[in-house]
């Protein structure tokens, strides 16, 4: 079938890219294959593991479920864009200090997801374990675990991940 | 994945004009893209409806809320009026999927997501919902998470949405636009039981576009509770959306809808009728649950859902009563 290719513009980690893509490409494939940004990982490719999490127009999203063609004009931040030059973000530092990973495969997704999650909590968004839906949530361990449930870690580094997110929340 | 043409609609008219039999409307894509990758959906064209002007939540003077179909699930749960007036709707949406997926998924797409029955998602297996007439291996196969109410010899799938269960309890209305004009479809008439046509989940006409959901005010405390195989990010085994107006220990009014038990959100009207005017006691609640579940036909491996549903009705209504 003809007409499979199409053009989109994406701003990734502050840099604008004009890209010619197969209309079937996921945002994840475009980031990894076309832009060489291999930090975002392909785990399940069906939205269940969270290893592909990026910030899409400022919100955490699964890049494997996002058709790239539908994101034309979007701003994307990947794990490669979280640090300011060589200066790691507070969350990245906390992941190292708290030993929040073993093999590291899920870590880019954990970092992008937690970055987006802290922003959601700062805006007062409730979660499924929030008691009073009208009050600002208190980001305790139960809240962190619930809000991070879209990111699996097969090494089971959850203790460290929760500790790191807790440390970075302030 | 089969190649497809991608178009972005700016208005509902444009979306309708571009829709034919081989077209699917694209919302957040969190279910559709997955199904396309699995080969379950093979559209020749996608019409992206996320940039239609259906991305607002409006408060009507009647107290009703009009929720646009393109509103993201997370924006629905963050909205102050929804949080204040409809806790069970917020809890239902928050109990579904993950933070990432809720940021992507839309209200319209949530309503129209397909069953997660493993046979439906596996194109190497027969499935009457995916390919009418091929049979239903779930009836004698893997069905511990499938229907106990309203199923047929053709299909025992369940509807996966949590949000739709709360909307069923809220007497919500789905607003649509099709070739014949606009329609307001009560949620009770929106979803179908499978019968001999399980390929049709809803009563939407071909090409008909969901534009909004209207939720009337509810002056009762409410809550959503979900039982699943892990603490978060899993579909319901059984869930309940319930509301109750209890005064002097007597149930003046109540709403009960169950999820995870049928091809559609299951409004438990028999249980509601049994409870109205009766004291809110464990015995009366168990009686109400039994009235509702008398119509159930559990499969070989899912009779456990009967007790789960009964316990959920009793406990959730008792808790709502304690708050009165």
Asked if A24 lies within 8 A of B84 by C-beta distance, the reply is no
CA distance B156 to B135: 11
Does residue B110 belong to any structural domain of this protein?
Answer: no
Interface of B with A (CB under 8 A): 1, 3-6, 8, 26, 28-30, 33-34, 37, 46, 48, 50, 74, 77-78, 80, 83-84, 87, 90-91, 94-95, 97-101, 103-104, 231-233
Residue B311 inside a domain? The answer is: yes
Bridge partners (DSSP) listed for residue B183? B176
According to the model, what pLDDT value does residue A3 have? 54
Contact A47 B4 (CB under 8 A): no
Encode pLDDT of A99-125 as tens digits.
Answer: 999 999 999 999 999 999 999 999 999
Taking 80 as the threshold, does the pLDDT of residue A170 lie above it? no
Task: Determine which of B100, B103, B234 to mutate to test the interface with A (most A C-beta atoms within 10 Å).
Answer: B100
Domain range for B23 is 5-48
Degrees to nearest 5, angle at CA A103 with A113 and A33: 65
Over residues A17-29, the pLDDT tens digits come to: 999 999 999 999 9
Whole-number pLDDT of residue A1: 46
ipTM of the predicted assembly exceeds 0.90: yes
Report the CATH number at residue B273: 3.30.390.50
Three-state SS across B220-263? Answer: CCEEEEEECCCCCCCCCCEEEEEEEEEECCEEEEEEEEEECCCC
- Show which of B31, B48, B65 is a domain's final residue: B48
Contact A123 B94 (CB under 8 A): no
Q: What is the DSSP string of B181-235?
A: EEEEEEHHHHB---TT-TT--BSPPTT-EEEEEEE----S-EEEEEE-SSSSSS-
CB-CB: which of B1, B29, B50 is closest to A65?
B29
Q: B236 lies in a domain?
A: yes
User: Is residue B175 within 8 Å of B218, Cβ to Cβ?
Assistant: no
Residue B306 inside a domain? The answer is yes
User: B280 and B247 in contact (C-beta within 8 Å)?
Assistant: no
Select from B6, B34, B233 the Cβ nearest to the Cβ of A150.
B233
Quickly tell me which residue has 């636009």 as its tokens.
B177
**pLDDT computed for residue B324 by the predictor:** 67
Nearest to B313 by CA among B193, B188, B232, B227: B227
| Residues B104 and A65 sit within 8 Å (Cβ to Cβ) | yes
Residue B136, in any domain of the structure: no
- Rounded Cα distance between A114 and A121, Å, is 10
Contact B33 A67 (CB under 8 A): yes
- Cβ contact, residue pair B50, A70, below 8 Å: yes
> What is the set of domains in chain A, with CATH numbers?
5-81 (3.10.20.30), 90-168 (1.10.150.120)
Q: How many domains does chain B have?
A: 2
Q: What is the pLDDT of residue B323?
A: 78
- Considering the domain boundaries, does residue B62 fall inside one? no
Q: What is the pLDDT along chain B (324 residues), one digit of tens a residue?
A: 999 999 999 999 999 999 999 999 999 999 999 999 999 999 999 999 999 999 999 999 999 999 999 999 999 999 999 999 999 999 999 999 999 999 999 999 999 999 999 999 999 999 999 999 999 999 999 999 999 999 999 999 999 999 999 999 999 999 999 999 999 999 999 999 999 999 999 999 999 999 999 999 999 999 999 999 999 999 999 999 999 999 999 999 999 999 999 999 999 999 999 999 999 999 999 999 999 999 999 999 999 999 999 999 999 999 999 876
Beta carbons within 10 angstroms of residue B70's beta carbon: 23
Structure tokens at A137: 């949530």
**pLDDT for A2 beyond 70:** no
Would you tell me which residues 31-90 of chain A have a C-beta closer than 8 angstroms to some C-beta of chain B?
45-48, 50, 53, 56, 59-62, 65-67, 69-70
Inter-chain touch A125–B78, beta carbons under 8 Å: yes
How would you class B199 by CB atoms within 10 Å of its CB: exposed for 0-12, middle for 13-18, buried for 19 or more?
Answer: middle
Let me know if residue B247 belongs to a domain: yes
Strand partners, B279: B250
The secondary structure of residue B180, as a DSSP letter, is T
Q: Collapse the DSSP code of B85 into the 3-class scheme (helix H, G, I; strand E, B; otherwise coil) and give the result.
A: helix
In this complex, is the C-beta atom of A153 within 8 Å of any C-beta atom belonging to chain B? no
Nearest residue in A to B49, CA atom: A70
B19 found inside a domain:
yes
**Boundary of a domain, candidates B33, B48, B63:** B48
CATH number at residue B23: 3.30.43
How far is A168 from chain B, CA to nearest CA, in Å?
Answer: 18
Distance from CA of A133 to the nearest CA of B (A): 6
Interface touch A124/B78, C-beta < 8 Å: yes
The model's confidence at residue A4, banded by pLDDT at 50, 70 and 90, is confident
């Amino acid at each position: 079938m003809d007409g499979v290719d199409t053009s989109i513009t994406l701003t990734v980690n502050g840099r604008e890219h004009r890209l010619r893509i197969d209309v079937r490409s996921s945002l994840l494939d475009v980031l990894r294959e076309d832009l060489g940004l291999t930090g975002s990982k392909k785990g399940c490719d069906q939205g269940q593991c969270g290893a592909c999490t990026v910030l899409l127009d400022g919100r955490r999203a699964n890049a494997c479920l996002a058709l790239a063609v539908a994101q034309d004009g979007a701003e994307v931040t990947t794990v490669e864009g979280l640090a300011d030059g060589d200066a790691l973000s507070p969350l990245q530092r906390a992941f190292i200090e708290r030993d929040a990973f073993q093999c590291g495969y899920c870590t880019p997704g954990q970092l992008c997801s937690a970055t987006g999650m802290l922003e959601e909590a700062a805006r007062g968004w409730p979660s499924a374990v929030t008691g009073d839906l009208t009050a600002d949530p208190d980001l305790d361990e139960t809240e962190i675990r619930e809000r991070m449930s879209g990111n699996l870690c097969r090494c089971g580094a959850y203790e460290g991940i929760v500790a790191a997110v807790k440390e970075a929340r302030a | 994945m089969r190649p497809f043409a991608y178009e972005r609609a700016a208005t509902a008219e444009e979306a309708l004009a571009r829709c034919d039999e081989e077209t699917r409307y694209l919302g957040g894509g969190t279910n559709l893209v997955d199904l396309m990758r699995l080969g379950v959906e093979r559209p020749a064209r996608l019409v992206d409806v996320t940039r239609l002007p259906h991305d607002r939540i409006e408060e009507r003077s009647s107290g009703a809320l009009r929720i646009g179909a393109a509103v993201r699930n997370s924006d629905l749960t963050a909205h102050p009026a929804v949080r204040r007036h409809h806790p069970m709707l917020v809890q239902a949406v928050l109990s579904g999927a993950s933070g990432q997926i809720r940021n992507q998924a839309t209200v319209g797409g949530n309503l129209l997501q397909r069953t997660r029955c493993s046979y439906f998602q596996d194109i190497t297996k027969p499935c009457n919902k995916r390919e009418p007439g091929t049979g239903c291996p779930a009836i004698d196969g893997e069905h511990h998470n499938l229907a106990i109410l309203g199923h047929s010899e053709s299909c025992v799938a369940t509807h996966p949405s949590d949000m739709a269960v709360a909307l069923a309890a809220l007497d919500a209305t789905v607003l649509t636009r099709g070739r014949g004009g606009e329609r307001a479809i009560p949620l009770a008439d929106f979803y179908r039981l499978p019968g001999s046509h399980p390929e049709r989940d809803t009563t939407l006409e071909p090409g008909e576009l969901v534009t909004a959901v209207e939720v009337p005010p509810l002056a009762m405390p409410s809550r959503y509770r979900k039982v699943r195989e892990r603490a978060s990010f899993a579909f319901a085994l059984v869930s309940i959306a319930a509301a109750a107006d209890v005064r002097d220990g007597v149930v003046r009014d109540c709403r009960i809808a169950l999820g995870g038990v049928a091809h559609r959100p299951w409004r438990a009207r028999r249980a509601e009728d049994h409870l109205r005017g009766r004291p809110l006691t464990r015995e009366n609640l168990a009686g109400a649950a039994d009235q509702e579940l008398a119509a159930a036909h559990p499969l070989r491996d899912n009779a456990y859902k009967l007790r789960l549903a009964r316990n959920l009705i009793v406990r959730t209504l008792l808790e709502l009563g304690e708050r009165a």
